[in-house]
């Protein structure tokens, strides 16, 4: 007996509640309204019961001067009595196959803990590798004011906020770009947690946006911020320090992995090696590399030996000295960059 899309959605939601019991019904309302789609859901069933599920959410990403199609694994979970049979790994493998056939270049996930981080590094569990990092920054008011700029906490959020946000995000060289639904899901989640959404205007023109929450330890933490001028950032900081009666606010900003204080965040892996290399060569045609890819059980077409020379990608027979996994390849080119991954509803 086939399940209807609505039945699949409801069973997936019930499975989520079992696997992630700390998430509230209100949060699930936001996720399953704004993020979930029938096309994104991958399931494993026992008869008519969904026993494992995960969503492969589509994202576009600014990457080495181009925009590439990527996928983000969210909500991957298995009912307790069905764990240990590799169902979650099957979901990830199917997702990678789909993404490859759709022309995707990279996939991402954010592990819930360090044990899962090591779990996902293994070839049989996706061959991911830690590829993005964040560092916590303390922000203190400078005391500067600007009478021309007004900070507001709007009661309603219009699409003009997203238009401004999208325009600012286009300027970042490495960023996971939020869709309209992603954007509003992030704002709704902050509101659900008693947080704030601030808009800075110069007359009627938007010159800045930020949102965040006061965390359980009392610290005020930004979830995201975009500004037309960094002086606007200081006005946001000043406003929030007054609002919450604190001396500092904080941000977990994207950074390169080698930066002091960098903390591992999202894991990634390459889904299409040839397309990945060709994208890099569009911006850096003189780049040369000899490397092998191994351990890709999900997209075995990627396994092989590659040479980059003269702006082209060659598949060669001679074994190079360096062999890495598809996750290692992602980390090689992303780990040294401040890759912005925000608004994933993981905090």
Region 319-333 average pLDDT = 98
Residues 296-301: what's their mean pLDDT? 98
> What are the tens digits of pLDDT across the range 129-138?
999 999 999 9
pLDDT at 247: 98
- Looking at residue 2, its pLDDT comes to 86
Average pLDDT, the chain: 97
- What is the pLDDT at residue 312? 98
Q: What is the CATH number of domain 5-130?
A: 3.40.630.30
**Contact assessment for residue 246 and residue 239, using Cβ atoms and an 8 Å cutoff:** no
Do 135-255 and 5-130 have the same topology in CATH? yes
- 297, 124 contact by CB (below 8 A): yes
User: pLDDT of 91-127, one tens digit each?
Assistant: 999 999 999 999 999 999 999 999 999 999 999 999 9
What confidence score (pLDDT) does residue 230 get? 87
Residue 303 CB burial class (10 angstroms; 0-12, 13-18, ≥19): middle
Mean pLDDT in residue range 156-161: 97
Give me the percent of the chain exceeding a pLDDT of 70. 100
Note the pLDDT of residue 145.
86
| Predicted confidence (pLDDT) at residue 1 exceeds the cutoff of 80 | no
For the chain, which residues make up each domain, given as ranges?
5-130, 135-255, 271-334
What band does 73 get if pLDDT is binned at 50, 70 and 90?
very high
Render pLDDT for 15-41 as a digit per residue (tens, 0 to 9).
999 999 999 999 999 999 999 999 999
At 303, is the pLDDT very low, low, confident or very high (cuts 50, 70, 90)?
A: very high
Give the CATH H-level superfamily of domain 135-255.
Answer: Gcn5-related N-acetyltransferase (GNAT) (3.40.630.30)
Distance CA 11, CA 13 (A): 5
Per DSSP, what are the bridge partners of residue 200? 151, 208
């Amino acid at each position: 007996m086939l399940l209807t899309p609505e039945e699949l959605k409801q069973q997936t939601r019930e499975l989520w509640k079992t696997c992630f019991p700390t998430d509230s019904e209100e949060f699930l309302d936001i996720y399953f309204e704004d993020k979930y789609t029938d096309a994104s859901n991958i399931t494993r069933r026992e008869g008519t019961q969904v026993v494992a599920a995960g969503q492969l959410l589509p994202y576009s990403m600014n990457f080495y001067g181009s925009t590439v199609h990527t996928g983000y694994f969210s909500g991957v979970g298995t009912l307790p009595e069905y764990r240990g049979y590799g169902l979650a790994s099957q979901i990830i493998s199917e997702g990678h196959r789909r993404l490859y056939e759709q022309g995707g270049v990279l996939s991402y996930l954010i592990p819930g803990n360090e044990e899962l981080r090591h779990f996902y590094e293994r070839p049989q569990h996706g061959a991911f590798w830690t590829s993005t990092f964040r560092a916590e920054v303390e922000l203190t008011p400078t005391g500067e004011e600007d009478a021309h700029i007004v900070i507001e906490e709007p009661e309603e959020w219009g699409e003009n906020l997203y238009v401004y946000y999208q325009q600012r995000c286009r300027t970042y060289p490495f960023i996971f770009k939020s869709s309209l639904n992603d954007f509003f899901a992030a704002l709704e989640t902050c509101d659900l947690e008693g947080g704030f959404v601030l808009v800075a205007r110069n007359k009627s023109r938007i010159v800045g946006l930020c949102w965040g929450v006061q965390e359980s330890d009392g610290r005020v933490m930004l979830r995201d911020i975009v500004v037309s001028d960094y002086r606007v950032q200081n006005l946001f900081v000043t406003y929030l320090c007054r609002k919450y009666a604190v001396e500092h606010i904080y941000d977990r900003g994207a950074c390169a992995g080698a930066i002091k204080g960098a903390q591992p965040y999202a894991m990634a892996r390459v889904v299409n090696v040839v397309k990945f290399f060709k994208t890099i060569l569009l911006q850096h045609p003189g780049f040369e590399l000899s490397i092998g890819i191994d351990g890709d059980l999900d997209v075995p077409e990627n396994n092989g030996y590659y040479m980059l020379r003269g702006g082209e990608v060659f598949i060669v027979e001679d074994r190079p000295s360096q062999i890495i996994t598809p996750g290692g390849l992602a980390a090689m080119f992303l780990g040294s960059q401040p890759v912005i991954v925000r608004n994933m509803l993981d905090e």
